Structure 1
Amino acid sequence: MIQISNHIYCDARLEKLDITNRLFPSAYKDTPYLIIKNFFTPELCRELVSLVKKDEESQRAEVKLENISGIIESDVVTDYRKTNIYTLDDFYSEYYEKQFLKYKPLIEEYFAAVMTLSTDIQVLEYKEGYFYVKHADDSSELVDENGETVGFKCVAPERKFTTVLFATPHESNAQEESEGFSGGELLFNYLYDEKGEPVKIKADAGDMVIFPSNPYFSHEVLPVTKGYRVTLVQWHDAIY
């Protein structure tokens, strides 16, 4: 393994692969990702989650696949991803944007980058049994006949950063059992702590996790075993 921050290591195999975007924060940071506490207040999170539960206008999340002609297309593939997507309403969108502008200088300083354009905000719903398998947000993983990773093809170069805002807490942080979810951790597949354990994020409601979108930060959402997981996800371009 290779040390990439004060307390986090990555799989050394990635260093041998051709990866277009190798954005990292300073190796002297504690972690290569940033967690902002209370980006949303707990009260606002509860109100938002209540609206999502009542909203019947959802769509199944898609995954990007490369066809035989090399063209990247999107489709619903429940073997890879089982997630519902909602559109964030104007009130929460405006509040989110206000908060993001407040924290944008902190994020840019942490990663030594200047953020430019951002995508629309997606509200992602994970019920019991929902999940999202291992993936990189800016690339498609290339595997050989044995299922071994041999490279990555960048398919979304405009994605330099991923932000994930948790509206419901992991059970380890929940004040009441009815508020949280079990399972559903954000697992970074190639990142490890000082004990060699894979990095799993067990966030509280209102926490925002920011990380580069490149293959070093390939991740998955483990199956939700109990409860209800709601996150607000966005991708951002940047100059670095």
Structure 2
Amino acid sequence: MTQISNKIFCSDFLISFDIETKLLTNPYYDYPFLIIENFLDENECYEINKKVKEDDDYQKAQIKIKEIITTAQINEEIRKTNIYSLSEKYLEIYTKRFLTFQAKIEDYFKLALTTSTQIQVLEYIKDSFYAMHSDDSSMIYKSNKLIGFLPVAKQRKISTVLFTTSSNKIASDDSFIGGELLFNFLFDKDGNEIKITPKAGMMIVFLSNPYFTHEVLKVISGRRISLVQWHNAIIN
């Protein structure tokens, strides 16, 4: 393992790859990602979750495929997720709240945010998941061995995930079992994979490049809801 921050290590093979979009945070930080607690409050999360539960207007999530040109298609063997739109009311609340944290995010990652994608409201119900992937690159395999990454979304420099339901031991209207966010190539000092347990109102901000390859583990029961966005930036 190779140390990339005070408390986090990455798989050695990543260092040997020529990763075109490689970017890491200050190695003296404790963590190479940023967690913002209470981005939304309990009532705001409840209202967003309620809207999703009442809404039957959603799309099946697609994945990017790099062929001659980059296309997108549904493949529920890789990703089983429903996508909703955020209401105008909560889009305004989210946008204003994000602006209050933008300077903190830019300082942490030493960049200047420019454009952002539309916010996706993602719903993972029982047996839903998203297999291992990088947000800005396709994974290249040869004889079932990962040999590199091919950028397919270079405009994605930063990924943000805001949870509005919590992972718990018992599923309820606003919690679920399973569904952790697992960083596949990041480890603690004991070699344990870094796994983020979602908590309603919490946002995690991380770089979109292959060092932060991740997956959403299968939801065992309940409903996992999150607001996801990708951001372009000028690197300082």
Deviation of 1:177 after TM superposition, in Å, equals 4.4
The counterpart of 2:163, out of the listed 158, 161, 166, is: 166
CA RMSD between the two structures = 1.1
2-structure distance, mates of 1:95, 1:194: 38
1:226 aligns with 2:221: yes
Deviation of 1:170 after TM superposition, in Å, equals 1.2
1-structure distance, mates of 2:50, 2:212: 31
Q: Secondary structure of 2:166's match?
A: coil
The correspondence of residues 17-28 of structure 1 with structure 2, limited to 5 A, is 17-28=17-28
What TM-score does the superposition give when structure 1 sets the normalisation length? 0.95
Deviation of 1:71 after TM superposition, in Å, equals 1.5
Letter in 2 for 1:210: V
1-structure distance, mates of 2:137, 2:172: 37
The correspondence of residues 37-76 of structure 1 with structure 2, limited to 5 A, is 37-67=37-67, 70-76=68-74
The counterpart of 1:124, out of the listed 117, 122, 125, is: 122
Structure 2 contact 180–197 (Cα < 8 Å) conserved: yes
Letter in 2 for 1:110: Y
The residue number in structure 2 matching 1:209 is: 204
> Unaligned stretches of 5+ in structure 1?
none
Deviation of 1:179 after TM superposition, in Å, equals 2.5
1-structure distance, mates of 2:213, 2:74: 20
Q: Secondary structure of 1:98's match?
A: helix
1:153 aligns with 2:137: no
1-structure distance, mates of 2:196, 2:208: 16
Q: Secondary structure of 1:233's match?
A: strand
Letter in 2 for 1:142: I
2-structure distance, mates of 1:116, 1:94: 18
Question: What is the CA deviation profile of residues 176-196 of structure 1, one whole-angstrom value per residue up to 9, with x for unaligned ones?
Answer: 844311110000000001211
The residue number in structure 1 matching 2:84 is: 86
Q: Secondary structure of 1:152's match?
A: strand
Deviation of 1:22 after TM superposition, in Å, equals 1.5
Letter in 1 for 2:88: D
Deviation of 1:220 after TM superposition, in Å, equals 0.3
1-structure distance, mates of 2:82, 2:198: 20
2-structure distance, mates of 1:90, 1:194: 44
The counterpart of 2:183, out of the listed 182, 188, 191, is: 188
The size of the alignment, in residue pairs, is: 235
What TM-score does the superposition give when structure 2 sets the normalisation length? 0.97
Provide the identity percentage. Answer: 46
The residue number in structure 2 matching 1:103 is: 101
2-structure distance, mates of 1:229, 1:84: 10
Q: Secondary structure of 2:194's match?
A: strand
2-structure distance, mates of 1:218, 1:166: 19
1-structure distance, mates of 2:24, 2:18: 16
The counterpart of 2:133, out of the listed 127, 132, 135, is: 135
Structure 2 contact 66–152 (Cα < 8 Å) conserved: no
Letter in 2 for 1:33: F
Q: Secondary structure of 2:122's match?
A: strand
Letter in 2 for 1:154: P
Deviation of 1:66 after TM superposition, in Å, equals 2.3
